[in-house]
């Protein structure tokens, strides 16, 4: 089995894949062989032992243990989480994790002024999107930040745009506007909200859909027509209201981590 860990600033997603230790054909879907997945809050103060207990608990739900794990692949935007996973592997496993970082084979060229600045999750997304759809492709990731990244027809990561994410934008709105309160993130009945709650929901759902559509349109002005793929925790909320998004892949990042792991066997 293969553990893949995508540690974002707000949440960490863990996936468990079937794996026999050998690379296979690149025609899989992200959920092919995905045995289970779990989402936890990202806590940079969590020790490697605490993380080991969490992961062991998740594995126990599948009647598995660390003894069944053949590898770990990691994308992380939180250095202390990366360090904790390395320490976990050193203490409880007999192999090092494959971490997306300089020196790791990804199979994708990074056309960026400083490639080291590109987030590991953005690279994993690009790897998976190109394997599935070729290029040019745009990946819209709805996480702590909303990112739109482009992959060329030749499989090069070209860069992208980073905007504040939906949830942190909503938190900022409620925190700075005394008359507004937190609301459930869902699509309202109409764009023209008939209450303050619906008006906030309209701005969040339809507003962020329009934001991504606008960014994709500007990227396509530079690259020509692109396949647009959405991923991230809120992708399924926004996608139905977007005019540009063609595919929703909730496990795109996990699939990219699996592919990167296999390139480094």
| Digit-coded pLDDT (tens) for 184-241 | 889 999 999 999 899 999 999 999 999 999 999 999 999 999 999 999 989 999 999 9
Is the domain of 23 the same as that of 58? yes
The count of domains in the chain is 2
Torsion region of 207: left, alpha or beta (phi above 0 gives left; psi -120 to 50 gives alpha) = alpha
Is the domain of 170 the same as that of 82? no
Q: Quote the pLDDT of residue 53.
A: 94
Structural domain that includes position 48 = 2-103+255-263
Q: Is 121 a catalytic residue?
A: yes
Is the domain of 23 the same as that of 67? yes
Query: Distance between CA 152 and CA 62 in Å, rounded?
Result: 39
Average pLDDT over residues 157-163: 96
Whichever domain contains 74, its CATH number is: 3.30.420.40
Catalytic residue among 6, 31, 32, 121: 121
SS3 string of the chain?
A: CEEEEEECCCEEEEEEECCCCCCCCCCCCCCCCEEEEEEEECCCCCCHHHHHHHHHHHHHHCCCCHHHCCEEEEEECCHHHHHHHHHHHHHHCCCCCEECCCCCCCCCEECCCCHHHCCHHHHHHHHHHHHHHCCCEEEEEECCEEEEEEECCCCEEEEEEEEECHHHHHHHHHHHCCCCCCCCCCCCCCCCCCCHHHHHHHHHHHHHHHHHHHHHHHHHHHHCCCEEEEECCCHHHHHHHCCCCCEECCCHHHHHHHHHHHHCC
End-to-end CA distance of the chain: 14
pLDDT at 25 over 70: no
Average pLDDT, the chain: 92
Is the domain of 181 the same as that of 125? yes
Average pLDDT over residues 172-194: 86
pLDDT at 262 over 70: yes
Residue 12: which pLDDT band, with cuts at 50, 70 and 90?
A: very high
- Please name which of 234, 181, 208 lies closest in space to residue 11, comparing C-alpha atoms: 234
Is the domain of 118 the same as that of 95? no
**Buried residues in 145-178 as b, exposed as e (16+ CB within 10 A):** bbbbbbbbeebbbbebbeeebbbebbeeeeeeee
Is the domain of 117 the same as that of 228? yes
Is the domain of 61 the same as that of 141? no
Is the domain of 141 the same as that of 205? yes
Q: Quote the pLDDT of residue 173.
A: 87
Are residues 129 and 137 in contact, defined by beta-carbon separation less than 8 angstroms?
Answer: yes
Query: Distance between CA 241 and CA 102 in Å, rounded?
Result: 37
Is the domain of 132 the same as that of 214? yes
Entry pTM = 0.92
Is the domain of 209 the same as that of 229? yes
Is the domain of 172 the same as that of 231? yes
Query: Distance between CA 204 and CA 243 in Å, rounded?
Result: 16
Percent of the chain surpassing pLDDT 90? 82
pLDDT at 22 over 80: no
Are residues 80 and 31 in contact, defined by beta-carbon separation less than 8 angstroms?
Answer: no
Cα dihedral 34, 164, 148, 191 sign: positive
Is the domain of 95 the same as that of 24? yes
Q: Quote the pLDDT of residue 236.
A: 94
């Amino acid at each position: 089995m293969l553990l893949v860990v995508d540690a974002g600033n707000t949440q960490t997603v863990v996936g468990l894949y079937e794996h026999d230790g050998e690379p296979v054909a690149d025609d899989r879907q992200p959920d092919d062989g995905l045995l289970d997945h779990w989402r936890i809050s990202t806590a940079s103060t969590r020790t490697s032992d605490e993380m080991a207990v969490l992961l062991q608990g998740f594995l126990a739900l599948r009647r598995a243990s660390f003894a069944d794990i053949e590898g770990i692949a990691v994308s992380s935007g939180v250095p202390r989480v990366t360090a904790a996973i390395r320490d976990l592997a050193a203490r409880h496993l007999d192999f090092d994790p494959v971490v997306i970082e300089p020196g790791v084979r990804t199979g994708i060229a990074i056309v960026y002024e400083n490639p080291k600045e590109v987030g590991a999750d953005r690279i994993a997304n690009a790897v998976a999107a190109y394997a599935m759809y070729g290029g040019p492709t745009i990946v819209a990731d709805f996480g702590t930040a909303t990112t739109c990244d482009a992959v060329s027809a030749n499989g090069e990561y070209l860069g992208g745009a980073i905007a504040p994410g939906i949830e942190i934008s909503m938190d900022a709105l409620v925190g700075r506007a005394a008359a507004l309160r937190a609301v459930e993130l869902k699509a309202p009945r109409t764009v023209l909200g008939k209450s303050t709650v619906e008006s906030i929901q309209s701005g969040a759902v339809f507003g962020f859909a329009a934001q991504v559509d606008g960014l994709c349109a500007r990227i396509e002005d530079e690259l020509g027509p692109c396949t647009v793929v959405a991923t991230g925790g809120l992708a399924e909320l926004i996608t139905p209201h977007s005019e540009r998004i063609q595919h929703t892949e909730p496990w795109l990042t996990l699939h990219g981590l699996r592919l990167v792991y296999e390139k480094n066997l």
